[in-house]
Amino acid sequence: MSIKQWSSDDRPREKMLAKGVQSLSDAELLAILIGSGTREVSAVELARRILAESDNRLSSLGKMGIAELVRIKGIGTAKAIAIHAALELGKRRNSSEVIEKQQITSSRDVFTLCRSFLTDLSHEEFWVLLLNRSNKILEKYKLSQGGIAGTVIDIRLILKRAIELLASGIIICHNHPSGNINPSENDKTITEKLKIASGQMDIKLLDHIIVCDNSYFSFCDENIL
C-alpha cells in the first residue's frame, strides 16, 4: 500500500502533527525529507533501505556521498541532495549553538564544536579558532583540506588572520579519517612551530584538538603543548 492508504496514525506527516516530531523514527523523518517512494515501495520503506545501507547509523549516513545515495534504487539526485542539505543544517545548528552559548573553557568545549563539521568526513580538514582574552570565539574557519593521510598547513596564514582580528588565543583542530586518534609526528611538528611563532606575537596557542568520531585528543590535556 502507498502511504496515503495507511492509517492516519502511521503516516509520517500526520503522525508528526498529532504526536510531535519526537514520536517519529529515523526512517519516518527521512521519509518526510525524500517526499515520495516508488511504485514498488513507500517513502518509509525507501527510507529504511537508505538507513540499512548506512548500518542504521545517522553518523554513517552523513558520510555517504551523493553518488553513493543515488545508487540506491528509488533515490535520485534531488532526494540525495535533500538528505545532504538536512544533515548539513543539523551540523550548522550544533556549531552555531556552541559559538553563541558557550565560552571555550576546556578541550571538551572545542570537541563539541568541531565534531559538528569534522566527524563525517572521508578526508582530512584543518580548522582554526581565534579567541579574545575572554576565550570567546572571534572567528572559526577552515584553513585547508587534504586527503585521507593529511593536509598542508601554512602557519603564516594563521598568524596573519590572528593579527588582523587582534586575537589573544589560537586553537587548531583537525580530524583523522583513519580513526586513529593519536597525533602523528607531523601533527606534533606543526603544533610546536605554531606555538613558537604565535608566542613571539604575544598570541597563545591554547590547544590542538584531533577529532575522531566520538572521541578526541587534546595536546593541552596531555601536557605536550
Instruction: Let me know whether 120 and 210 are in one domain.
Output: yes
Number of domains in the chain: 2
Domain membership of residue 98 (yes or no) is no
Query: Is a pLDDT exceeding 80 seen at residue 62?
Result: no
CA–CA–CA angle 165, 126, 217 (5° rounding): 105
pLDDT band at 69, cuts 50/70/90? confident
Q: Alpha carbon 5 to chain centroid distance?
A: 38
pLDDT band at 149, cuts 50/70/90? low
> What CATH code is carried by the domain that includes residue 119?
3.40.140.10
- Tell me the pLDDT tens digit for each residue of 172-186: 999 998 888 999 999
Q: Which domain holds residue 148?
A: 104-218
Domain membership of residue 25 (yes or no) is yes
The reported pTM is 0.60
Domain membership of residue 30 (yes or no) is yes
Neighbours of 176 (CB within 10 A): 22
Instruction: Let me know whether 16 and 79 are in one domain.
Output: yes
Instruction: Let me know whether 139 and 87 are in one domain.
Output: no
